[in-house]
Amino acid sequence: MSSAKRILLIIGGGIAAYKCLELVRRLRERGHHVRAVMTKASHQFVTPLSVAALTNERVFIDLFDLDDEREIGHIRLARDPDVIVVAPATADLIARMAGGHADDLATAVLLATDKTVLVAPAMNPRMWLNPATQRNVEQLKRDGIHFVGPAIGEMAERGEAGPGRLAEVPDLLSAIESALDVEAAHKPLSGRHVVVTSGPTHEPIDPVRYLANRSSGKQGHELAAAAARLGADVTLISGPVSLADPDRVRVVRVTTAAEMLFAVQSALPADIAIFAAAVADWHVAAPSAEKIKKSAAGTPPALTLGENPDILKAIANLRKDRPTLVIGFAAETKDVLAHAKKKLKSKGADWIVANDVSPQTGIMGGDRNSVHLLSDDGVESWPEMSKAEVAAKIIERAAKHVALLKRAAAE
């Protein structure tokens, strides 16, 4: 592979575990970052100290290790790598994988991951040929797990020979690179930077009051998560929301429209910029430093409003560092398409995603959405679906569009 990748190596408890030391060394020579999880049985064959010295990383062992779970956790271990390699994969470890067990750190990581998993079996030939093992292997293959080996040859046990040897290091390296290619095929945004804005902005009136829009941030956060799943380097710039941060997404938290614009500008350059945030159109020109009290006469205070920056227009009309694809959102309560078409033209965006957020639709703050995608090619009206499905469809379409534009520019 031409670029460094993150590889998680899960070392099982077999005599062939010694080959993993050479595997780690060769992977690091190629520039890859290797992190290791060791089963307790593997300690009988190689030491955590040896593995840590070669990976130049802490070795992860215990599912219930308080420090490990606080600092990285088995979910992070499952999400961070580009590919997971299980070597040597013993008959017991394969059986627990096939059964969906999660009774130690290795199996918990494997059950929690959505990455390509490459299994390198190593065991006695009779264990490998046992119908139970073969059923488990077939189940894992149906589940999408990739295999390399086992090789045929002499075993550690005297007089034993047949299928069951761990694949040799060169074969393991070749299989890992093939697995990385498979993973890349499912990650069309690998190497791309995607910026997403999400949620509302809060424009202060005084220390306890503010102007805002009714946005939960659900659609924007789903867009960031969908982009990360396709391999993008994602910067999510979020106004005040009560949502958890998406996995593998860099989150920048802001409050006001001015802060959001600055954060977007600071995040550039980007390949794709998606402006899903419901930015307040106005701010109070001179917010009070103290809580505004009611007057004795009951007269409401006069608020002088100023116009907030138009973030979508500002980025769409950049001469330098303009993203390849700029996508805006138009939340309307009537004449949705008419307003969205006007916005597409006036803002300079490439696409506008429009929806009807009238109270009766339940879209604002809800889990479902019904959108129209507008571009120079026309209007596509999509059926109602979950916000996660809307996000996945937008990001898949955006990935294909950017790839076409980049290919055309290179020709």
Residues annotated catalytic, as ranges: 213
**Which 3-state string (H, E, C) describes the chain?**
CCCCCEEEEEECCCHHHHHHHHHHHHHHHCCCEEEEEECHHHHHCCCHHHHHHHHCCCCECCCCCHHHHHHCHHHHHHHCCCEEEEEEECHHHHHHHHCCCCCCHHHHHHHHCCCEEEEEECCCHHHHHCHHHHHHHHHHHHCCCEECCCEEEECCCCCCEEEEECCCHHHHHHHHHHHHHHHHHCCCCCCCEEEEEECECCEEEECCEEECCCCCCHHHHHHHHHHHHCCCEEEEEECCCCCCCCCCCEEEECCCHHHHHHHHHHHCCCCEEEECCECCCEEECCCCCCCCCCCCCCCCCCCCEEECCCHHHHHHCCCCCCCCEEEEEEEECCCHHHHHHHHHHHHCCCEEEEEECCHHHCCCCCCEECEEEEECCEEEECCCEEHHHHHHHHHHHHHHHHHHHHHHHHC
Which residue in this structure is represented by tokens 């005040």?
240
Kind of pairing between the strands at 282-284 and 351-356: unpaired
User: Residue 229 carries which side chain, given as an amino acid letter?
Assistant: R
C-alpha–C-alpha distance, residues 323 and 233, integer Å: 14
Which residue in this structure is represented by tokens 């593995």?
51
C-alpha–C-alpha distance, residues 135 and 142, integer Å: 11
C-alpha–C-alpha distance, residues 148 and 164, integer Å: 11
The backbone torsions φ and ψ at residue 53, rounded to the nearest 5 degrees and listed phi first, read -65, -35
15: exposed, middle or buried (Cβ count in 10 Å: 0-12, 13-18, 19+) = middle
Please count the CA atoms within 13 angstroms of the CA of 143 that sit on its side-chain side. 22
